[in-house]
Amino acid sequence: MDEHLLAIKKQIREWIRLDYIMPEDIPDIELYMDQVTTFMDQHLQHNRRNNEDKTLTKTMINNYTKNKLLPPPEKKRYSKEHIIILIYIYYLKNVISISDIQNLLNPMIERYFDAEDSNSGKTLYEIYNLIFELEKTQYFNIESSVAKAASITEKKFPASDDEYLHKMAFIYLLSYDIYSKKRLIEKMIDELAEEEAAKKKEEKQESSKKETVKKENAKKETAKKEAEKKQPSKKEAAKKEPVKKEPEKPSAKK
């Protein structure tokens, strides 16, 4: 590998390195909004493109809650689960739309938010920990993929011939890669949304059937009680029943 590609690979390693929040760094205590924005900024500030860019603001958090991307806080305090959802939103909003983020995260929030108080099995923290491990491995795959694109570009558009064309072609290759993966992500989210909608429709139909059966049983029970009320009691029936007269015996006198 020539010096140019070695320099490019070193630069790639520096450019794609991101700040991240390790699972053990997420606080166990609940935080107020100011503390949340400070925490996120401290851990992710080097991911900003420009110094004036904001990692997370109060307005952003309020909008996420308003759009049901983030569950509302308890007494203005945000839990560990809130922080995890905000981390997901932080990364996803740079790749997909808000509506796609909703479709992706809503099932997670429904099933795993505050899972300690339910029977869902996993917690958001456990899921975050597992995904974090996957992301550490994926970093090297990304570095290798970008370096390969740089090598292909250098062969067709050597930087020594035309620096602008070299960078333009390199950017185009990376953009094509990102766009293709973005399309794949969108298709998968669409499928996920359809599956969730079908599941909820089925659950609604099942619930409706149960409610119908419950109402029918209640009607039958009510009708039975009304019929019992109209039926005379044994005493009342005995009073109403005509007294049978004994047939008169023939007289002995002639």
The Cα diameter of the chain in Å comes to: 154
Distance between CA atoms of residues 180 and 144, nearest Å: 18
Local confidence band at 239 (pLDDT 50, 70, 90 cut-offs) = low
| Average per-residue pLDDT for the chain | 85
Looking at the DSSP bridge assignments, the partners of residue 31 are: 78
The per-residue pLDDT for 254 is: 47
- Does 1 score more than 70 pLDDT? no
Report the candidate in 130, 125, 135, 132 with the shortest Cα–Cα distance to residue 85: 125
Write down the pLDDT at residue 250. 60
> pLDDT tens, 65-84?
998 899 999 999 999 999 99
pLDDT score for 26: 94
- pLDDT above 90 covers a percentage of the chain that reads 48
CA dist 86 and 36 (Å) reads 9
Confidence of residue 104 (pLDDT cuts 50, 70, 90): very high
Q: Is the pLDDT of residue 241 over 60?
A: no
pLDDT in tens, 10-29: 777 777 777 789 999 999 99
Q: Indicate if the pLDDT at residue 130 is higher than 80.
A: yes
pLDDT at residue 243 above 60?
A: no
